[in-house]
Amino acid sequence: MNFSQGNFLSNIPTITKNLLIINVLMWVAAIVIPRATGFDVTYWLGLHFWRGADFNAAQMVTYMFLHDTSGPMHIFFNMFSLWMFGRILERVLGPKRFLFYYLVCGIGAAVVQEVMWELTWRGELVALLAQSNPGTSAAQLEAMLAGGQLNDLARQFSDELITVGASGAVFGILLAFGMIFPNMPMYIIPFPFPIKAKWMVLGYGLIELFFGVSGFQASVAHFAHLGGMLFGFFTIWYWKRNGAIGGYGNGYY
């Protein structure tokens, strides 16, 4: 196979190719623009907690086209997964349905992340304040928060809750791949044997659930990843139930 630039790009379906290009361009812009102009692309286009002053609804879409600018690994793994699985799904679903699915999973991940922030922000803020105010109990801090005495700190804390990345949409793509091609053999490092796609997807989901519940890698939005899979599951289930898409036998395409 010839991997010259022209042939490589021409073999990628339109939507997948454009998503790859947009994500890479946005990642570069998020690095270059703040240095050139002082405008923080990540802060303004990343997803904020809805209670924060800098939240706006458009961020539930824009956040999924941004990635961590401290290194290339975040965007590399997301774009590699998008390229590997997205190009196959786009040919199966068609470009319009594939783009719709991608956005549904990304927005669904944002919704779940907002729900998780809503459930946890008070406890996290109280824990931080308790560390810096050892003479004040958690119960006292919670009472002060409920009474409005810490409103300024609460708003500041809310604005610092922000997430970026295509991971929610990408996990939705993995879920769709496992549902449409359940028995396709996948080779995953470091396992020396093939694993069926349905078990790979289940394994990823369980790992994300464990990480989210345990608090491991707290800087990663594990529940947002699960949110992308959840919204993806119901979307694919609905399409399959209504005959819009079907299974592919043993999973070979």
DSSP secondary structure string, 181-211?
STT-EE--TT-SS-EEHHHHHHHHHHHHHHH
Q: Where is 47: in which H helix or E strand?
A: strand 47-48
Q: What is the pLDDT of residues 55-74, one digit of tens each?
A: 999 999 999 999 999 999 99
Per-residue pLDDT at 184: 86
Mean model confidence pLDDT for the chain? 86
| 62 vs 137, residue with greater confidence | 62
Per-residue pLDDT at 217: 66
Amino acid, single-letter form, for residue 160: E
CATH architecture of 5-241: Up-down Bundle (1.20)
Q: Where is 163: in which H helix or E strand?
A: strand 162-163
Q: Is the pTM of this model over 0.95?
A: no
**pLDDT at residue 1 greater than cutoff 50:** no
Per-residue pLDDT at 246: 64
Per-residue pLDDT at 54: 92
Domains of the chain, residue spans:
5-241
Q: What is the pLDDT of residues 138-150, one digit of tens each?
A: 777 777 777 777 7
Q: What is the pLDDT of residues 155-196, one digit of tens each?
A: 888 888 999 999 999 999 999 999 999 988 877 777 777 888
- The stretches of 133-250 forming alpha helices (DSSP H) are 138-146, 151-160, 167-180, 197-214, 222-241
Mean pLDDT in residue range 211-225:
76
Using omega within 30 degrees of 0 as the cis cutoff, is the peptide bond preceding 182 cis?
no
Per-residue pLDDT at 105: 97
**pLDDT at residue 248 greater than cutoff 70:** no
Least confident window among 107-116, 118-127, 231-240: 118-127
**What single-letter DSSP state applies at residue 216?**
T
Q: Which residues of 94-109 are buried (b: 16+ CB within 10 A; e: fewer)?
A: eeebbbebbebbbbbb
pLDDT band at 244 (very low <50, low <70, confident <90, very high): confident
Per-residue pLDDT at 99: 97
| 140 vs 25, residue with greater confidence | 25
Q: What is the pLDDT of residues 26-60, one digit of tens each?
A: 999 999 999 999 999 999 999 999 988 899 999 99
Q: Where is 130: in which H helix or E strand?
A: helix 95-132
Instruction: Find the angle CA(24)-CA(202)-CA(189) to the nearest 5 degrees.
Output: 60
